Structures are given as structure tokens and as C-alpha cells.
Chains A and B, each alone.
Chain A
């Protein structure tokens, strides 16, 4: 199940981009198809609209856009809806940066996380059969793992911010950051 992950700055510019795919043994590469590789930034960029909308929503609704039906038998993910991003002051819960699944495009699901500084961590989850648009497989998102992934990325990002030579909004080009993100992805997403 490949993923495309990006950190988006305030002006909608990418600060970091990465694609995670796994090599299972001697299997073929389970990454995105070439077509999707080109499309991914566009899909991600488009879903920023939804994230923006969710970010400033007074009523927390993590699942509004996700067409979630908890009664449905095919519920693939659960979201602990404990308050929206804006409610962070009132709700005694530090875990409201994670927005869960925010959007989808054909078979791709998009999850998002907003840092307190307004940086958006967005990820496209592809389907495990090297997700073409014809794929009927649904994306299974392990919410808890996903949340943990985002939180650790957040931590990494804050560490990057503390680098006096790094200016907020500049692309992160550190190879260390990249390798850590990838190892986190291996740890949480592509187990």
C-alpha cells in the first residue's frame, strides 16, 4: 500500500514530499502507477481546500467529508471524534491535530494533520494493488497507526524548526529528516 506524503506550508507550497512504497520480498514494486505519480501532487493540492475548510470549522466533524457510515459493515476506519482543530483550547485533549480521512479521489484516501503552526501534513493512501483508478479495492487506514505516524512526524518537524539555519516555509532538504520519515513510514504505515 503506497503512500504519498507531503508537508504543506502556509502559502500552499510543499516543504517536504515523499513517496513510500514497500518491496515485499521479491515482489514487484508496490508503488503508485506512473500516472498516479504525476497526479498525486494535484490530488493532494486539491484536498487542501477541504483541509482548510475543516481547520476553521466551528463544529468539529472529522467524518463529514469522508462519507463515513459507522453503521455500514464496510467501515474501514474509526475516528475518535474528540473535537475539531479549533476546539483545542476548550477540550482537554492534545490530540486534535489529526483530522483523519478528509477526502478521497477514486480509490485513494487522503488523511491530514495540522500542526499548531498551521503546517499541513497530508498523505494520500493508495490501494495495495498498486492502485490504478480501476481498482475496486478500498483503502484501509489504520487510524491509530496513522495518528502516531503524524505525531512523530510533527515532532521531527519541530526539531527541524529548532535548527537556527532553517527558515520556516523553506523546503526541508535534510537527508536525515528524510530517512527518519521513511523509517517512521515503515514502522507505522507499511508494516
Chain B
């Protein structure tokens, strides 16, 4: 910020104001570089300068002296300060140096300079890199040339010559002042000069160093009064003296003018580097002016003396402090002090002010001592009029210069303030201000030094602003001449002035210096505050400002201090939660923005206004936001300095909807599923929508999908779309601001653009999508699907967006806000801090959770279509049980471009569909077999597609022939679906896009012949051989005849009742093994009993009890049936017996009228399970024993004795444990007609003894029973073996019996 305003130096009145101007074609940086080089030679020794004639200013007069140039390339409007040139001539710009880098003519350049800078006394031209001989040979003393591209070695010489020119000009300039009566600025400028108005807040006397007061707290008043007394006494004596000597006003005026002349000579001598002469001039002037109470000029003269002191110290020239100064600012010299102070405190030079208040009384006396050191002979020189070079002058080496300067400064301010009562001899505001500022800079420069070391002097002399910043040290501030508080208190003097009356340049100067001071003091907030005041005054300044780029530094400083710069609430959670002083920040930012606008720094406007808008959205009112937007942001958008939209969270949730089609719910709406070829047959395609997630707990709050509007576009779960689909993209946009948000473009990112894009033609700058203030709004745009994606699909996590016509930018999709710092972030930070990884500033925005959308686009798919509804109406089929029929179906690949590469046909019947997954659990093994067998038959043979194609070309027609065979179908079979899975292969992959076409059929099975009943009876009676007209008798006879080893007991009869349920008569034929029955006609509604002779099943051969019941579906886990071994055995036998029959029994029928129309009967679905009686009848040798009954006579008369022989034989060759050795043999007598067992004691057949006998089973056994029938009838006698213990449970019951007729 140093180029914005000059940091004042205490010695600036001793510097020659020089303006450097570019002539020719300079580039800015080039010129600044050149000036910088010249600045290296801003200090020129008088020794190096050619002498001049004037005795007053010749360098020979003080060869040690220096010329200090103040090279600058900016200058204020001269006329504004014209009134000050008499009073402070150093304010004038004395020298103009034109830097010429072209070959323009010397004369013309000089003429122009003269025209433009009429008041400047010395014009110089420096030609750079000129080859013009005219210039090179120029004899003019004020025209120089040098080589800029090389290091100009003659630059110092040139500056020396310029100095020489200046001294000559100065002497001429001074001569014009020689005889002029110098007037005060107030007298020259009149009312236009702003008077310094000092408003005292609080205590009156600000002149007295506050530190002094504080440190000498209790006695300060005393000391001051004594001081005032002293000065007053001087005044009084002086005025008395004056009254004597200057009795007439004439001589008073003369003296005054002389004093002023001396002062101005002093100023000029200071400029000319003749410091000792200047000191003399100033001292004389002070003496005169003091007497005359010309306080304004007096103050300025004392200022001159102070500058002389510093300059001489800088040159290491010994000098004496004039007595008058000593008088005005009483001082304690070093020797006195060291003689008084205790040895313990001699480590530093003590000034009276430094003595702590609460120390010993001797120390308190020091100030007074110093005053009393003004010797009693003080009066004598004061009585003389000439007090210059008094022997009482104190050598500079003995005093503390900074302290002296400070005292002098206070005195000067005091005198300045005294002038304020005067009408025209008052101090102008600017003079006062400048003095305060330069004193402030001096205080800052030597704030912690007692003496002035050369390096500090260097900075003071060269106007370098201090670089250091005061530290808060533990040192006692008392050791320092200018403590922090001192400096700050002094600085606040400026706030007692009416700064707003100053010119804007001066105000800038004041505030900048104050700010720098505060910065050095370490008061950052004060600094920012001062800068804020500066900006405020600049903002209220009416005219346009020309300002260098340095305003950015200032604004940056302010923003830093108020904590605005580092705040990144848009990406940092903790920042966004941080409670800082928003009002303060907002105010500061607002000011900065409006200032940036004033300076017309568009980039800064853009940056700051966006910052203001985004970081302080919540505290800006609607009108503020509107103004901010309209006046600052919108112009920035127009001129392109705002390049991107500022809200990173503008895009919220996104989704894709597939739109409905011409025919809702039809095939075209279905999406194919990508599957591996191998997997297709395994799992039935299930619609993802209807799939119930079993692991999910029922959620009553979940909106049921069925409640939705029927034809509303449905969200795509996996975001799978087809090329050529109609689909919409919906995303929510937010506008957190209080003005309308205009969205002018919304598009997918570039990597997605090749697959699909948004149809956004209607979204233009002139027709934007407007989002109302502080709202969310959904925008829905149609998607144009262009190309299929790879199987991985593509990820949409960002969108191309443009708001307010800004350039497109990619913004991420934000799903939700994150309110706390995620653990990951903390962890990352922790890791970073432990690992010393420097770049932790990952561009991760922790304020939100990003969302994304997976999108897959499938290529265009073939589509299968049913062209005619086949030969049956309404897809309903009526079919006779046991018959087959054919159904025709025409299908076509509707797509004209995509072939079907794969086709497969599946049937799902209603029975399968209705089955539960665990249907098999409730069945016994035999039932399960029966059930599953039926299913299997249904699946395998019920419906077959005879000419199933594998592939279809685009547009191809195929006629399918479906055979429906309901022979084995149960009557519950009422409908089936023909599912055609088809699809085309995925490019470069083994997968297939599979679609389904489902054709439902209804089936009604009409019953034809049913098997109503079944029975198995043993064949006991001998049949007459002649009766061969009956087919089964004939068969048995043939068998018996052919095989002599067989007898009639080897056969059983299977009785089957067939019922014709059809409307027509049917011919039925049954086959069993090699037995074939005749064709029997069954009239409609009639039942026919068929008798089928069956050979008994040999127990030994088959061993049914050891054969497991088979499983149709393998792999089920074994489930305990819970049966005992015997029960299991029984079950197996029953099962296998039934299977035996079913395997061999074949029934066929045909229509009585139409022989060709025939069918078969699936007996299995009619037959019941066998009971144990049937089994034992059929199953020869099933029993343990063979019991044979004999009777001597089968026909007896009443009263005849009947002998019944029983022969019992063990059937098993091996006796097992199952057969206990002792058994009981029971005889049962059954009434043949009624089939009732006669009770044990009855009156129909008498018997002797019991009808039971103990038997041993080990060996064949024969016994006899004697019976006496007493009632006529037919009796059936059978024998049974029972367990020993109990009566009833029969161990064996042989079905063979004897029938006895009693007459």
C-alpha cells in the first residue's frame, strides 16, 4: 500500500519534491522500473556537486551535507496547496525530470514541460537509449542521456547535475522571496482554507504526554505547573522586554517579517542540504518569532530545528542544541542524569519521563532537577537580543534526542493550537495533520529505542515505512521511549480533527498512515477499522477515483481482519456453523463491494459480491439481495468477470422416468433383462417391480404402488432405458436467494452426451426456466436416447448447467445436506496432521452428500407379436379327457431391424402357479410321489410346441403348432401360459437381452370315462371251464391249462367300475399284461364293472417292503415321516402294489359313433390308495404263514358233524424274531350272506371245545376242529393266527376260506 499514499517521514520538509514524467513511448512497468533506478540515487552528497555562485546555497558551504530527492511520478493538484508555499515552501514541486525514450526534440519537450508545469523551477530531461547525435551532443545543462538497457553508470552524475541545476534555480527562486512580506496561509487563502478544528473529548490538555502524566501520576500536575510557570516566566520577561524594545508596531512588523524570512531561509537551506546554516537560521527565527508570539511560524521553525537535529545526527555531525530550544523544552542531559540515577538503573539512559511513579522520592525529583538545571544565569542571555550560538547551548551527545524531538513536537502542537483563535494566522488543517502524521511516523520508527541508531535514522531519512510489527513483549513498557499506548494515544489525536474537511488525498494519507501505524502496533482490528473509515470516506467522495491496484491489498486486509476471507461456508461444515460477527462482516463486505464498483474493478466486484451473496445469504434482506444482484452481479455477468454460477448445491435430486407407450402395459413397455445364456432357463423371469423383498419387514407407511395413479409415468428402478424410448429427466433445482434464478441451460455432461442428451431447445437465454426466490422447483426435460451404453452403464453425477446466461459449468448432483463433519473427514484431517501431509485441501465439499444416477441404455430390441389369435376362440380350449389336440399360433417379429437370436418356450400351468414353495412338506411320501408324478407328466407331456423355432429374422412370420395332451392332466388343470422368452445377443458378450411374451390359455377338460371304484377279490371258487364267453374266465382257464403248477388261488380279480360321463356312448377296452378285455360299450351315464384277472404278486420275488418309495424331485432333505417300521412297511407294500397295477393297466376308449376319435384313461388319477386287505389279497406270500383249511364235506346237513382240518405252514424259510414261537390259531365263522362274523357263542354252529388253539410256529402243524351246524345257511370259515397275549390283533389272516353250506 506504499504507493497508494506516501508514508510520511519526519524529515520530509528537508526533501526536494521531484516529479518524474514519462515522455515518449513508455510502458508502465518499464517506466516504474526506470524511476526505481533513479530512486537509488535519491541521496546526493553536496561534495559531489559543482559549486554555484550563491553563498547561501553553494554546496561548498557545507560539503558534508546531502540533497535528498523525493522522486515521484504522481503529484497533487498544485493549486490546492498554493497558499502554503509561503509558509511551507518545501511542499512545492521544485524539479521536473522528463524521462524520454524516443528521439523527440529537446526544445519541444522543454517547451511542453514549461507549459504544463509553470511553477516548477528546474526542468530536466533525461534521454534514454538515444542515438540521435543532436541529443548526444546537446550542450544544454539540463539535458542528459543515459543507457537504460545496460545499467546506467552515469545516472549518479546526472542526478548530481540535476542537483546542481536545482541549487542554482533555488537561489534564483529564493531571491524572489527576499523582499516579500511573508504571509500566513490563512491570510493568503482566506475562507477557502480549512482551519484545524480540534475537538477535545475529555481532558483538556492533550499536549502533555500522557505517559508523563501517568508515570508521574500524583506529582504530574505539580511538575506541569512548574513547567508552565517557567515558560510563563519566560514569556513574561520576553514580553516585558519586547515592550521595551519593540515599542512601535513598525519594528514589530519588521521583526516579524525578519523572523519569517529567517524561517523560510532555513527551509530552503534544509532543502539545499546546508543543515548547520539552516539550524542557525531557524534558531534565530525561533528567537524572534517567540518574542513576537507568531506562534504559527514559530511552530514551523521549531519543526525545522527538529529536522536539522535529525539530519545532523544522521550525518554524524556534532552540533549544539540552541539554548532557546532548551528553554522551550527543558531537558535533562545525560551527564546530569547519570550522576543522579542509581547505578542499578544505568543500563539505559533515563529520561525524566521514564522514572516510575512509585519509586523513591529522589527519582521523583528528577524532573524538577532538570528544570532547575536551567542555571540562574539563564536570565542574562535572555536579556540580550542575540542569543544565537550561546555558550549555554548543550552538546547533542549529552541529550536523548528522541525525547527532545518529542518534547519539541508537543511544543509545536501547542503553538499550533494557540493559533486557532486567530482570524487569519491560524494553522491550516492540513499542516496540523501532516505534522501529527510525521511525528507519529517518527514515534513509530524509534518506538523502542532510546537513542537513534543509524539504521533507524536511515529509515527516517529515506521515508521507508517500518516493516516490523511490535511484539507484545514482557518487557516493561517503561523502558521504551514511545510505548504502544503513547503512540496509540498520539494517533488518536487525529480523531480530534475534522478529517472530512481535508482533501481526499490528504484523507487517504491520514488513514493510510494510521492504518500502517496500527498494523505496526499489532492492532489489527484498529487497522481494519481505519481502513474501513478510509473506504467510507472514499466511497462518499463524489468524483471518480483513479486508483492504483493497491486497493485490493487494502480490501484484502480488511476482509482478513474481519474474518471474511478465510470463511468458506460453502464447503466447510465448521465454517458454516461458525458464529462470527455477521453484521460486521456484512457491513465491511458491503462497503468493499461498493468501493470496488466505484473504482470499477470488475474482478473484485465479482469476487466480493459473490462472497457477500453466498456467505451471508441469510442476513441479507430481499431488497439488499436484489440490489446486489442487479447492480453488481448482473453487470459482472454481462462483462464476463463472473464466470460460474455461485451456488454449488443448485442441482438437487435427479430421477429418470420412462414414459408410457401407445399401448399401455403391453409388450413394448417391458424392458428386457440382460442374462447369461446359460442362466436363462434356470430362473423364471420375474418382474422386478412385483418381486417382494423377503428380508424386508413390512412397512405400513410405505406407499403402496397400487395406490398410485394408473398411468402415471413410473420411475425406473434400475434406470434402464431402450434406445428409442420416450423418457423424461427430472431434477430439483434450488434457489436459496431472494431473487429469481434463471436457468438457461441444463444438459448432461459431455461424457454422457454421446449416449443421451436432454431435449433443451426451448431453454434459452430469452426463455429461461425461472425458479422463484427461496424455493425448490422440479424441472422435467425429455431425454433423447441416442446410443446404447456398455453393460456397465454410465453414471450421471453431474450436470451441465448455466444460470443467467453464464458459461456452462458442470455441477454435481447433491442429494442432501450434511450437518456434521463426517468421521471420514475428521479422520483424514487427523491422518494428515500426523503424517505431515501438506495437501489436505482436497476439493471435497463436506457440506453435502453427493448423489448420482446410474443409467443403462439398451439397444433397440426385437419385438414379438401375435398376429392372429390361432384356431381357438378367446384362447379358450375345451378338450376331452384323455385326448390330444393342436392349437395354432402365428407370431411375428415386429421389429424391422433387430433379429431374434434366441427363443425358448415355457409352459406354466395354473397348477404349478398355484403351488406354494413348500407344498411338499405336508404330503406323505406316497402321496407326494403321486402328486409329483402328475406334475411331471403335466409338465413333460401336456403341452408341447412342435415346431419351435430358434431364431427369427426381422419381420419374419412363424406359425407355431402347440399340442395339448390332457391324458395325464388332472381335472384341476384349467389354464396355462405359453411363455416365449426371446431376445437378441448383447454385443461382445455372452449375454442376451431377454424379453418375455406370455400367451394365456384357458382349458376346460371334459370328463369322458371315470373309474368310479376298485376292488380286489380273491378267486376262491372253482370256475366251470365251459364258461369261456367271459373274457377273464377264459383267460384264467387258459392260464391254468397252460401251466399246471398254478391253481386258481394264484389269481385275484381286479374289479373296476367305469362310468361314462360323456354325452355319447363309448367303447372301452382294458388291457392288463397279456390280458386284453373285449370292447365294452358304456352308454352315457352308465357304469360298467370290469373284471380283470391278475396273477398274484410273488412276495419273495418282489420284496416290496424293502423298496423305498421313489422321489420324483431329488435332493430334498430327508424328513422324518414319523412312522414305525411296520407302518412304513405297510405303506411301501400298498404303494408298490398300486404301482404294479397301474403300470400294467391300460384302458382305451373310442367313440361309439366315431372310431377314430379315441382316447385313453389315466387310471392313476382315479385310483384310490389300496387298503391292507387289497394288498394281502393281491400280494401272495405277504403273510407269515400259509394256513390251509380242509373240510371233509362242504355241504352238510344240520346235525352232521363237520370236520375241519387246518394245516399251518411257515412261509419263511428262516425263522426270524418277527415270528414268535407260540401263536394262537383262531377260527372264524362268517355268515356268507351277511358277511358278519358269528359271535363266539351262537346257536347256529356248535362246536366242541374252543375255536382256538395254541400252536407252535416252528414246524408245520396240523390240527382239527369239530363243528356241528344247527341252523341252515352258508357259512364261510376262515382261520387266523393271532398273537398269544391278546385276542384280537391278527397277525395273519388268510384270505382263503372254506364255504360250507348247511342244509
Residues of A within 8 A of B (CB): 9, 11-14, 17, 38, 41-43, 45-50, 53, 56-59, 61, 63-76, 104-107, 109, 136, 138-139, 169-171
Which residue in chain A gives the minimum CB-CB distance to B583? A41
Please tell me if the beta carbons of B489 and A107 are within 8 angstroms of each other in the complex: no
Please tell me if the beta carbons of A136 and B199 are within 8 angstroms of each other in the complex: yes
Please tell me if the beta carbons of B202 and A74 are within 8 angstroms of each other in the complex: yes
Please tell me if the beta carbons of B210 and A43 are within 8 angstroms of each other in the complex: no
| B581 proximal to A (CB < 8 A) | yes
Q: Give B495-531 interface residues, CB cut-off 8 Å to A.
A: 495, 518, 522-526, 528-530
Is chain B's interface secondary structure helix, strand, loop, or mixed overall? Answer: helix
The residue that A67 contacts in the complex, of B210, B578, B581, with Cβ under 8 A, is B210
| B85 proximal to A (CB < 8 A) | no
A61 to B208, CA, bound (A): 17
Which residue in chain A gives the minimum CB-CB distance to B484? A53
Q: Which residues of A contact B199 (CB under 8 A)?
A: 106-107, 136
Complex interface: stretch among B473-481, B859-867, B924-932, B1180-1188: B473-481
Q: Which residues of A contact B694 (CB under 8 A)?
A: none
Please tell me if the beta carbons of A45 and B581 are within 8 angstroms of each other in the complex: yes
Which residue in chain B gives the minimum CB-CB distance to A15? B579
A107 to B495, CA, bound (A): 9
Please tell me if the beta carbons of B478 and A59 are within 8 angstroms of each other in the complex: yes
A106 to B203, CA, bound (A): 13
Q: Which residues of B contact A169 (CB under 8 A)?
A: 579
| B1222 proximal to A (CB < 8 A) | no
A104 to B492, CA, bound (A): 8
Name the 10 nearest CB pairs between A and B, nearest first: A71-B221, A46-B529, A69-B203, A49-B523, A72-B203, A64-B485, A49-B525, A41-B584, A46-B526, A49-B526
Is chain A's interface secondary structure helix, strand, loop, or mixed overall? Answer: loop
Least CB distance, B1015 to chain A, in whole angstroms = 91
Least CB distance, B979 to chain A, in whole angstroms = 65
Interface centre among A12, A71, A139 (most CB of B within 10 A): A71
Q: Which residues of B contact A74 (CB under 8 A)?
A: 200, 202-204
The residue that B201 contacts in the complex, of A43, A50, A61, A138, with Cβ under 8 A, is A138
Contact with A along B196-214 (1 / 0, CB 8 A): 0001111111101010011
Which residue in chain A gives the minimum CB-CB distance to B588? A42
Which residue in chain A gives the minimum CB-CB distance to B561? A45
A59 to B472, CA, bound (A): 13
Asked whether A69 and B523 contact (CB < 8 A) given A59-B476, A106-B201, the answer is no
Please tell me if the beta carbons of B204 and A72 are within 8 angstroms of each other in the complex: yes
Which residue in chain A gives the minimum CB-CB distance to B483? A64
Which residue in chain A gives the minimum CB-CB distance to B532? A42
Least CB distance, A75 to chain B, in whole angstroms = 6
A157 to B828, CA, bound (A): 38
| B879 proximal to A (CB < 8 A) | no
The residue that A53 contacts in the complex, of B200, B217, B472, B476, with Cβ under 8 A, is B472
The residue that B529 contacts in the complex, of A43, A57, A106, A138, with Cβ under 8 A, is A43
The residue that B202 contacts in the complex, of A43, A57, A58, A66, with Cβ under 8 A, is A66
Q: Which residues of B contact A58 (CB under 8 A)?
A: 474, 476
A87 to B518, CA, bound (A): 27
Contact with A along B558-594 (1 / 0, CB 8 A): 0000110000000000000011110110011000000
A12 to B562, CA, bound (A): 9
Asked whether A41 and B581 contact (CB < 8 A) given A49-B523, A58-B476, A61-B485, the answer is yes
| B488 proximal to A (CB < 8 A) | yes
Please tell me if the beta carbons of B205 and A45 are within 8 angstroms of each other in the complex: no
Least CB distance, A149 to chain B, in whole angstroms = 20
Which residue in chain B gives the minimum CB-CB distance to A75? B203
A72 to B207, CA, bound (A): 12
Please tell me if the beta carbons of A71 and B224 are within 8 angstroms of each other in the complex: yes
Please tell me if the beta carbons of B202 and A56 are within 8 angstroms of each other in the complex: no
Which residue in chain B gives the minimum CB-CB distance to A51? B525
Q: Which residues of B contact A170 (CB under 8 A)?
A: 579
Q: Which residues of A contact B584 (CB under 8 A)?
A: 14, 41-42, 45
Knowing that A69-B208, A69-B213 are A-B contacts, what are 5 other residue pairs whose CB atoms are under 8 Å apart, sorted by A's residue number?
A13-B580, A42-B532, A42-B584, A68-B213, A106-B199
Which residue in chain A gives the minimum CB-CB distance to B493? A67
Least CB distance, B1031 to chain A, in whole angstroms = 103
The 24 listed contacts between A and B (C-beta, < 8 Å) are: A13-B578, A14-B584, A17-B583, A41-B583, A41-B584, A41-B587, A42-B587, A42-B588, A43-B529, A45-B581, A49-B524, A49-B525, A50-B523, A53-B472, A63-B214, A67-B492, A68-B203, A71-B221, A73-B204, A74-B200, A74-B202, A76-B202, A104-B495, A106-B199
Q: Give B528-542 interface residues, CB cut-off 8 Å to A.
A: 528-530, 532
A61 to B578, CA, bound (A): 34
| B220 proximal to A (CB < 8 A) | yes
Asked whether A13 and B581 contact (CB < 8 A) given A50-B488, A71-B224, the answer is yes
Please tell me if the beta carbons of B495 and A105 are within 8 angstroms of each other in the complex: yes
Please tell me if the beta carbons of A12 and B526 are within 8 angstroms of each other in the complex: no
Q: Which residues of A contact B477 (CB under 8 A)?
A: 57, 59
The residue that B587 contacts in the complex, of A38, A76, A136, with Cβ under 8 A, is A38
Please tell me if the beta carbons of A56 and B203 are within 8 angstroms of each other in the complex: no
Least CB distance, A165 to chain B, in whole angstroms = 16
Which residue in chain A gives the minimum CB-CB distance to B587? A38
Least CB distance, A153 to chain B, in whole angstroms = 19
Please tell me if the beta carbons of B201 and A14 are within 8 angstroms of each other in the complex: no
A58 to B483, CA, bound (A): 14
Q: Which residues of A contact B488 (CB under 8 A)?
A: 50, 65
Asked whether A69 and B205 contact (CB < 8 A) given A13-B579, A63-B214, the answer is yes
Which residue in chain B gives the minimum CB-CB distance to A14? B581
Which residue in chain B gives the minimum CB-CB distance to A71? B221
The residue that A104 contacts in the complex, of B202, B205, B562, B588, with Cβ under 8 A, is B202
Q: Which residues of B contact A68 (CB under 8 A)?
A: 202-203, 210, 213
Please tell me if the beta carbons of A42 and B204 are within 8 angstroms of each other in the complex: no
Q: Which residues of A contact B518 (CB under 8 A)?
A: 49
Asked whether A67 and B206 contact (CB < 8 A) given A42-B584, A45-B525, the answer is yes
Q: Which residues of A contact B588 (CB under 8 A)?
A: 42
Least CB distance, A170 to chain B, in whole angstroms = 6
Asked whether A64 and B214 contact (CB < 8 A) given A41-B583, A49-B523, A71-B221, the answer is yes
The residue that B580 contacts in the complex, of A11, A43, A76, with Cβ under 8 A, is A11
Please tell me if the beta carbons of A67 and B489 are within 8 angstroms of each other in the complex: yes
Q: Which residues of B contact A17 (CB under 8 A)?
A: 583
Least CB distance, B469 to chain A, in whole angstroms = 13
Q: Which residues of B contact A76 (CB under 8 A)?
A: 202
Q: Which residues of A contact B224 (CB under 8 A)?
A: 71
Least CB distance, A143 to chain B, in whole angstroms = 13
A136 to B214, CA, bound (A): 25
Please tell me if the beta carbons of B579 and A69 are within 8 angstroms of each other in the complex: no
